[in-house]
Chain A
Amino acid sequence: MDIKPIQDEKRAFMTGNEVIVWGALAAGADIMYGYPITPQNEIMHYWTRLVPKYKKDFLQTEDEISAGFTTVGGVLAGKRAFTATAGPGNVLMQEALSMAEMMRLPTVVIVTQRGGPSTGTVIYSQQEVNLTCFGGNGEGLRIVYSTSSHQELFNYTIKAFNTAWKYRFPTFVLSDGYQSKMREPVTIYDPEEKGITIEPTESLLGLPGTPGVERDPAHLRNTYNLEDELYNVVKSSVKEYNSIISKIVEYDTYAVEDAKVLIIAHGVVSRAAKAAISSLREKGIKAGYFRPITLRPFPDEALRSLVDNVDHIVVAESAYGQLENIVKNNLYGFNIPIIGYLRPGMGITPEEITDFVKAELSL
């Protein structure tokens, strides 16, 4: 990094898309490959304005398939490459990300969820959880951070690059249109001043020395001839993924010690869920909240350790049960009723959650 984009701490009031750009700059990102889609566009807009000043690169590709595969190329060449997308663009990008998953390429993708299915809305949803966590013809060996505030957008954009390059799994910052477009106070900083080490990058191609003469050539592939060959590759990736889960999972809890009703939400909805806890408690309902920050890998052990004395679980999300299904999977064997406040593509307020909990539980 020639020029430090941020020196000392700076307070700012900006949109989420701008925060993401500052996070990428702070993380030492080298190049963004992108294709326009709302609500991520301003990530490209801000990035292209700052590119000359900080000696970065940008390429506007012909579609999201190309944005995904050029990002793969940038990563193969040893650069911190990233892209950003949403909705139908996220669908197209899964092909390249499946290759990244197979070949353990540290791609970083910012997803600003919009309404779906199909073109849906350009505004907001939490409907890209399944796609981002498990998209592609693979096993979901990805790392997905779901942010809930501008401060987290900054922090986790930096962390996404570091996690990707440290563990070599495709890494995502899963945000949404509300976070993209709203303005919020944020503190931006140089990560190294905070003791955060920026992970070094590594080239997989174009290595020093003449291949076949001074060293073996790098022959990288994602196609295998036999079942066993593929099985061994996937098995080894799964094993490594499982071995790093405990180092990666992150979650947040609030008022869970005596909770009888556990509200689970992720992303921006978790702010409404957390706010609902106080009003429910004022009404005498012992509510607590659990928020997975990593949706992949999911903080399953943390969740299971909380539910022994819980009578009801409520999952609130702006999708029709995508988080709820993940929660159910991870609570297999527990006999706790799980109900969903499921509002695909709709924002969720604290009052709505409070009213829903009171009505559903007849409290």
Chain B
Amino acid sequence: MEVTAQPQMPKVWRAETKPHKFCPGCGHGIVLKALGKAIDELNIQHNTIFGCDIGCSLLTWDFFNLDTIQTHHGRTIPVLVGIKRVRPELVVVSYMGDGGAYAIGAQHLVSSANRNELVTVIVVNNTQYAMTGGQMAPTTLPGQKTETSPYGRDIKLTGKPMLGPELVASIAPEGAYVARGTVSNVMQLKNFIKKGLENQIKGNGFSFIEALSACPTNWRTNAAETWSFIENEMSEYFPIGELRTPDEKKVGEKRKVTSNGAKH
């Protein structure tokens, strides 16, 4: 059968492994499209190493025409740090979920940010552990129902949703790039990811992009509800935008950090 219209895929996507393995409506495909476009535009396919975590992110192990290493839950950052330290000419991308970044791998995130490691970390925030069936995550919103918070997240017992970029922004040294984008604004997300890659290439410092993403399977939402959850509930708690850029000049001014680290 002759196919006339081909889907528009970034050049770096591996066509042989498409269609991808994510659920219908999943946000991963959009984040990966933004990442693919950014890699295409920077022309770094030849020297980029893609590392993926455990969780739904592991389904990207054969996603790109990139040398790829699928690691353990939360351990993608140290594996890539290990690579980058001995092969600084490579561009390393750590692709992981919010559980990997903020719970089981939090010590690696904090310490590598503090060391200003030259890695670009992309965290896909879908407010829960999706691959294991929808458990509560550090990012689950107050009152949100998950398999391990069936009556809604009680923040008195389980704490407030973790603000990853704000955490990183408060500890990363000068030169770091920190931003939060969303799958509901792909162009902006791509630009954030591109800046995060450029920041590594220039040797400025740690680069961190969180992407608000969707999991209609575990959220049990239809398209309209999915969109609304990202645009209204998630965006309200997780503010979109850049938190740190390497060119910020704040001579004589102390950087303002609010109590929860959020930018106002």
Query: A residues within 8 Å of B by Cβ?
Result: 30-31, 33, 57, 59, 61-63, 65-66, 69-79, 81, 95-96, 99, 205-207, 209-213, 217-223
CB distance from A183 to the nearest CB of B (A): 32
Q: Which residues of B contact A213 (CB under 8 A)?
A: 45, 65
CB distance from A354 to the nearest CB of B (A): 48
Contact between B83 and A77 (Cβ–Cβ < 8 Å)? yes
Contact between B61 and A206 (Cβ–Cβ < 8 Å)? no
Scoring B residues 55 to 88 as 1 if CB is less than 8 Å from chain A, else 0, what string do you get? 0001001101111111110010011111111110
Contact between B87 and A206 (Cβ–Cβ < 8 Å)? yes
Contact between B90 and A206 (Cβ–Cβ < 8 Å)? yes
Contact between B61 and A221 (Cβ–Cβ < 8 Å)? yes
Minimal Cβ-Cβ distance residue in A for B59: A223
Q: Which residues of A contact B12 (CB under 8 A)?
A: 212
Give Cα A33–Cα B83 distance, bound, in whole angstroms. Answer: 12
Q: Most chain-A CB neighbours within 10 Å: which of B64, B86, B87?
A: B86
Give Cα A239–Cα B61 distance, bound, in whole angstroms. Answer: 26
Question: Within the complex, which residue of A81, A206, A222 is in contact with B82, where a contact is CB–CB below 8 Å?
Answer: A81
Give Cα A78–Cα B78 distance, bound, in whole angstroms. Answer: 16
A–B Cβ pairs within 8 angstroms, 30 of them = A30-B86, A61-B78, A62-B110, A63-B107, A66-B75, A69-B82, A70-B79, A70-B85, A72-B82, A73-B80, A74-B83, A74-B85, A76-B82, A78-B86, A96-B72, A99-B72, A206-B47, A211-B45, A211-B67, A212-B14, A217-B62, A217-B64, A217-B65, A217-B66, A217-B68, A219-B62, A221-B70, A223-B54, A223-B61, A223-B70
Contact between A66 and B111 (Cβ–Cβ < 8 Å)? yes
Q: Which residues of A contact B90 (CB under 8 A)?
A: 77, 205-206
Question: Within the complex, which residue of A57, A220, A221 is in contact with B86, where a contact is CB–CB below 8 Å?
Answer: A57
Given known contacts A65-B78, A69-B72, A223-B70, A205 and B65 CB-to-CB distance under 8 angstroms = no
CB distance from A358 to the nearest CB of B (A): 51
Q: Most chain-A CB neighbours within 10 Å: which of B54, B79, B90, B110?
A: B79
Instruction: Say if the beta carbon of B230 comes within 8 Å of chain A.
Output: no
Q: Which residues of A contact B85 (CB under 8 A)?
A: 31, 57, 59, 70, 73-74
Contact between A206 and B81 (Cβ–Cβ < 8 Å)? no
CB distance from B52 to the nearest CB of A (A): 9
CB distance from B26 to the nearest CB of A (A): 18
Minimal Cβ-Cβ distance residue in A for B107: A62
CB distance from B69 to the nearest CB of A (A): 5
Given known contacts A62-B111, A74-B83, A207 and B72 CB-to-CB distance under 8 angstroms = no
Contact between B81 and A70 (Cβ–Cβ < 8 Å)? yes
Q: Which residues of B contact A81 (CB under 8 A)?
A: 82, 86
Question: Within the complex, which residue of B47, B75, B82, B83 is in contact with A95, where a contact is CB–CB below 8 Å?
Answer: B75
Instruction: Say if the beta carbon of B160 comes within 8 Å of chain A.
Output: no
Q: Which residues of A contact B47 (CB under 8 A)?
A: 206
Contact between B79 and A73 (Cβ–Cβ < 8 Å)? yes
Give Cα A209–Cα B66 distance, bound, in whole angstroms. Answer: 11
Q: Which residues of A contact B62 (CB under 8 A)?
A: 217, 219, 221
Q: Which residues of B contact A99 (CB under 8 A)?
A: 71-72, 75
Given known contacts A73-B83, A221-B70, A96 and B75 CB-to-CB distance under 8 angstroms = yes
Contact between B86 and A79 (Cβ–Cβ < 8 Å)? yes
Give Cα A57–Cα B66 distance, bound, in whole angstroms. Answer: 27
Question: Within the complex, which residue of B67, B84, B108 is in contact with A66, where a contact is CB–CB below 8 Å?
Answer: B108
Given known contacts A31-B86, A57-B85, A65-B75, A209 and B65 CB-to-CB distance under 8 angstroms = no
Q: Most chain-A CB neighbours within 10 Å: which of B47, B65, B68, B78?
A: B78
Give Cα A61–Cα B105 distance, bound, in whole angstroms. Answer: 13
Question: Within the complex, which residue of B58, B67, B82 is in contact with A71, where a contact is CB–CB below 8 Å?
Answer: B82
Give Cα A33–Cα B108 distance, bound, in whole angstroms. Answer: 14
Give Cα A76–Cα B75 distance, bound, in whole angstroms. Answer: 14
Give Cα A206–Cα B50 distance, bound, in whole angstroms. Answer: 10
Q: Which residues of B contact A210 (CB under 8 A)?
A: 45-46, 65
